[in-house]
Amino acid sequence: MYTLIAFSIILIILSLIQFLYNKWTFWSRQGIPQDLSSRTGQPYQLVDPEAHRKHGKVFGFYEGLRPCLSITDTNLIRKVLVTEFHSFVNHRLLTDPSEIIDYGVFFARYPQWKRVRALQNPLFSGGKLKSVKPMIEQILDELCAKLEPMAAGAQVIDMRTYYDAFTFDVIWTMTTGANARAIQNPHNNPLFDATRKVFQKDQEIRDWVVFFLPFTRRFMKITFFDSKIVSLIGRSISHVIDERMDKNIVVPDLLQHLIDTKLTVDEVLGQSMNMLAAGYETTATQLCFITRLLALHTHHQNRLYKEIRIERITTNARDLDGIYLPKDTPIIIPIWALHMDPDNFEDPEQFRPDRFMPENRHLIKDYTLLPFATGPRNCIGRKFAMMELKYCLVKMLSKFEFQACEKTKCPWIDTDVCIGVDEKLLLDRLSVRNRRRLSNWGSVFVY
């Protein structure tokens, strides 16, 4: 009897080893280098370039049992994002269909994605962008007015908060037609606070479950975004919709456009939340990043950037240049590793904005510079974000001078730039103080 039990246990253990061995050799069996180190909780901008330096431009890794492919090979990037787009239409499944944000264009799956994307493209046309310029200018004036007394008073401020407040006020006004007044009141503003928490709270357990044990999510009722926070944001947007319906108010903003396109209420809510999530933290992070670079390289102040990863999953099982990819395999295009590859940019860690000037554009190889991705599913807010960034920087630089101090760190060493999981972004600090020799100019010290 005991012999039988012992034999069964050994058999189960051996089968399990065989099963795991099969799963975790998926890439090596195809001759693709594989990275078995734990990549959990590590900032992408540190692990991605290092792994690509070690394994080359294509390597595989595993999230739990699921094989994922990371690529910086420009030929494969072209295929995934553009020429063979139909096989890689969808983003990775992070949200659950029960979550309202799942209706949003970022999370929507084909063919639903095609419909909601087409409905929203007109919102980012040249004419529409022109119409939101005065709104951005007004919010920028509020930002400068808030910072000016601080610049005059040698006060230490948390500049990350003010950039967050600026981009939040802009996107909230663009979405709902109402100014959330986060710049005026950044520390006691439940809506702003809730939205920041979506990005800054400790996401580790959620990430772990979503990435490694996706099948347990329903059973454990774990959502990718904190449901209490998301429902507070949802209630605020619903309130605006109800008020408009009741009072027959028509405001020419994103929300109205969505209501007019006859989307369901849940779809309207999902799109609005999506815009808020996609349009606020990304742009604020860029502003912090650029401000730090400018502070460290004062000679460039008169005259950008960091990113997230692009992720897609395979629509069906298929072959990509001889690499077999099962259905739903995540393909990761680590933008940071791509931009930091010396094959693409000479001395990538040197801040040389000249390389992006029009006269040098021809030196940039195709598919090596992808801050907003490319192809049919690129960033819908690209032009809007560029306009907002340029306006903000021009205005800030006309009023203030960013100065580095001994605490100023190089952004890619200090800042964890990955989206959604980063608490360290809060440490991005600026202190503002008056510099007499620059007469009425303030100086912004970047930590």
- Taking Cα atoms as reference points, which of 92, 233, 248, 104 lies closest to residue 176? 233
Annotated binding site: 379
What are the residues whose beta carbons fall under 8 Å from the beta carbon of 411, sequence distance 6 or more?
288, 289, 292, 293, 306, 417
Residue 181 sits in the site that holds ligand HEM (CB under 6 A): no
Query: For residues 351 and 372, which CB has a smaller minimum distance to ligand HEM in the complex?
Result: 372
Q: Are 272 and 43 in contact (CB under 8 A)?
A: no
The structure tokens listed for 347 are 């001395």
CB 146 within 8 A of CB 164: no
Nearer to ligand HEM, 136 or 380 (CB): 380
CA proximity to 320, closest of 33, 69, 50 = 69
* 411 binds ligand HEM per the rule CB under 6 A: no
Comparison of 91 and 196: residue with beta carbon closer to ligand HEM: 91
391 contributes a contact to ligand HEM by CB under 6 A: no
Closer to ligand HEM at the Cβ: 348 or 381?
381
- Both tokens of residue 369? 């510079």
- Of the candidate residues 355, 378, 414, 420, the single one contacting ligand HEM (CB under 6 A): 378
Which of 24, 372, 391, 441 contacts ligand HEM by CB under 6 A? 372
The verdict on 279 binding ligand HEM (CB under 6 A) reads yes
Distance from C-alpha of 265 to C-alpha of 247, rounded to nearest angstrom = 17
Q: Does 379 bind ligand HEM (CB under 6 A)?
A: yes
8 A C-beta contact, residue 349 and residue 61: no
Distance between CA atoms of 135 and 133, rounded to whole angstroms?
5
User: Shortest Cβ distance from residue 124 to ligand HEM (Å)?
Assistant: 7
Least CB distance to ligand HEM at residue 271 (A): 8
Q: Compute the least distance from the CB of residue 374 to ligand HEM, in Å.
A: 7
Positions at the binding site for heme:
379
Total residues found in the chain within this entry: 447
DSSP code of residue 122: G
Count, residues near ligand HEM per rule CB under 6 A: 24
The answer to whether 191 touches 239, Cβ cutoff 8 Å, is no
**Per-residue tokens: 343:** 């094959």
Q: Is residue 381 part of the contact set for ligand HEM (CB under 6 A)?
A: yes
Angle among Cα 64, 209, 207 to the nearest 5 degrees reads 100
Toward ligand HEM, which CB reaches closer, 91 or 160?
A: 91
Q: Is 79 in the site for ligand HEM (CB under 6 A)?
A: no
CA distances from 321 to 75, 318, 355, 375 (A): 9, 10, 31, 19
Nearest-approach distance from CB 417 to ligand HEM, in angstroms: 10
**Cβ-based nearer residue to ligand HEM, 34 or 79:** 79
Q: Is 310 in the site for ligand HEM (CB under 6 A)?
A: yes
**Whole-angstrom distance, CA of residue 384 vs CA of residue 128:** 10
95 contributes a contact to ligand HEM by CB under 6 A: no
Q: Which stretch binds ligand HEM (CB under 6 A): 153-161, 193-201, 315-323, 377-385?
A: 377-385
* The one among 89, 136, 144, 380 contacting ligand HEM by CB under 6 A: 380
Residue nearest to ligand HEM (CB): 381
Which residues partner with 432 through β-bridges?
Answer: 155, 444
* Cis check: omega of the bond before 111, within 30 degrees of 0: yes
Owner of token pair 């090979």: 73
C-beta separation of 174 from 381 below 8 A: no
Q: Which of 144, 233, 278, 313 binds ligand HEM (CB under 6 A)?
A: 278
The answer to whether 373 contacts ligand HEM (rule: CB under 6 A) is yes
Shortest spacing between CB 353 and ligand HEM, in angstroms: 16
Interface ranges with ligand HEM (CB under 6 A): 91, 105-106, 117, 274-275, 278-279, 282-283, 286, 307-308, 310, 371-373, 377-381, 384-385
